[in-house]
Chains A and B, each alone.
Chain A
């Protein structure tokens, strides 16, 4: 068996073992957070009841009545609840990601144009990077409300800061020799930016992008934890008040799935952009001899 296959098998085995440990914990710790709600719900509960219970979060429509108004729990209701809340969360995420990336990248490129602006901005940007982002959510809610706009803007801000500092650093790290070589061939400033700086900075920017994918998911979940009306994060927090750990678990699994999809999408997209890269690591340190 190939190395990769062994690793995948081992990974699956470990996850199965974790699931088994969870089941063991549910037996060893039968404490309840609320009457009838175990703290560590076993898989038998999760698989049978929990999905159906998610129908509670469907506010009614499409011919399915809301449970809160006396309707029965149906699979259709549950599916609708999951779909609509997934949609809300994902929209906030991708909108914030796109906005933050665009603004952060442009601002970073603009600032890097001149050596002076780069130096002026370096220290404030560095401080912004170490800022405790999540603590700012209440401010964003005060400014924009716990609405789609407010949450998307927060995601955009968190992502934008990473992109901005990442871009400025990446541009600064483009090897001088490439820029000099382009200059001696008569390239204009704009041509240098487009054909040299942008491709040369991509390997380094890649790590910023991966970081911001994680940050975006954290930001949108955090924002939904604090007073959103809809969304998967909101369901988790709402369930937490009542101690419905099983519901929290299922919704969390959905979230993890969506996050994994985001990473996979990025891998696909970046593959084309990086076909020129050497296999082991990116640029820097090469001096012509192999």
Chain B
């Protein structure tokens, strides 16, 4: 439920050896309300850094980032982030993890547990609310992480290659879960991935990054829900071929007609 504006964002950081690295060179983007944007690109292109900047975990070197016209100032539950690595706190039970953000904001115990329970039910984990994270599988832990973020009613949902470590079946199940929640709660989504198929399945808009800059910005107007059939349409294939070329995988493209 929010517009995200990036204006001439630049981010430079110093490596431990002393070298200066420009992770994000000059990015200006305008993301519309409720849009599902996928950020795609080769390793080291700056997509994860950009996400962390929008999250407020890193300060920008120069440029502006604003949500609905208000400049961001540090991390906040209104810009929820689902991490690449496992972020579920191992020393808290599942339900305590989900209600953590609410606890930090002072919501009283009974109420926040109710809210947490509702979200756990929505992600299909109603009967493991008292479990320790060590007892849960990788897919279940991701569901807990998703429930945790949604429990804080984020206006912007940031996702950093969240399903990369999961097996094929679990990943596809979580895609469906994510799309359901997105349809219901309508946050604006910025989803980082290097998986072209994943981006084609999820996104309204795919932004390609290379060398810290935006290299391409493509609207995906395929109808939802997207199926095996709709992803085999020629329109979809063209998008996929262009994206593969951007990632340096042009050898997989059959003919040379689709140019980036």
Q: Is the CB of B77 within 8 A of A287?
A: no
B41 CB to closest chain A CB (Å) equals 21
**B90: chain A residues within 8 A (beta carbon):** 276-278, 283
Nearest CB of B to A273, in Å:
9
Give A275 to B86 CA distance when docked, in angstroms: 19
Q: Is the CB of A180 within 8 A of B83?
A: yes
Partner of B57, one of A178, A184, A195, A283: A184
Provide the residues of chain B in CB contact with A91, threshold 8 Å: none
Q: A184-B75, A187-B104 are in contact. Are A287 and B86 (CB under 8 A)?
A: yes
Say yes or no: B86 contacts A177, CB within 8 Å.
yes
B79 at interface by CB-CB < 8 Å? yes
- Is A191 within 8 A of B85, CB to CB? no
Query: How many A residues have CB within 8 A of the partner chain?
Result: 29
* B81 sits at the interface (CB 8 A): yes
Asked if A184 meets B100 with Cβ closer than 8 Å, knowing A276-B133, A283-B90, A288-B141, the reply is no
Cβ distance B248 to chain A, nearest Cβ, rounded Å = 25
List of B residues within 8 angstroms of A279 by Cβ:
134
Chain A residues within 8 Å of B138, by CB:
288-290
Which of A177, A276, A283, A290 contacts B83, CB < 8 Å? A177
| Measured CA separation A181–B137 after assembly (Å) | 19
Chain A CB within 10 A, most for which of B81, B86, B100: B86
Q: Are A278 and B134 within 8 A (Cβ)? A: yes
- A287 with B165, Cβ < 8 A, contacts A184-B77, A277-B134, A278-B134 known: yes
Number of contacting residues on B, CB 8 A?
A: 35
For A290, give the chain B residue with the smallest CB separation.
Answer: B138
A144 to B87, CA, bound (A): 49
Question: CA separation between A288 and B90, bound complex, in Å?
Answer: 12
User: Are B83 and A181 interface neighbours, CB within 8 A?
Assistant: yes
Among B151-186, those with CB < 8 Å from A are 152, 165-167
The reply to whether the CB of A236 lies closer than 8 angstroms to some CB of chain B is: no
Q: Which of A176-213 contact B (CB under 8 A)?
A: 177-178, 180-188, 191, 195-196, 199-200, 202
- Give every chain A residue within 8 A of B134 (Cβ-Cβ): 276-279
| Smallest CB gap from A198: residue in B | B91
Q: Which residues of A contact B85 (CB under 8 A)?
A: 175, 177, 286-288
Given contacts A187-B104, A289-B167, 12 further A-B contacts (CB under 8 A): A180-B87, A181-B89, A183-B57, A183-B74, A183-B75, A185-B101, A185-B152, A276-B91, A276-B132, A276-B133, A277-B134, A287-B85
What would 12 A/B residue contacts be, using CB atoms closer than 8 Å? A177-B87, A183-B74, A184-B56, A184-B57, A184-B80, A184-B81, A185-B100, A185-B101, A186-B105, A196-B89, A289-B167, A290-B137
Binding site for B on A (CB under 8 A): 175, 177-178, 180-188, 191, 195-196, 199-200, 202, 275-279, 283, 286-290
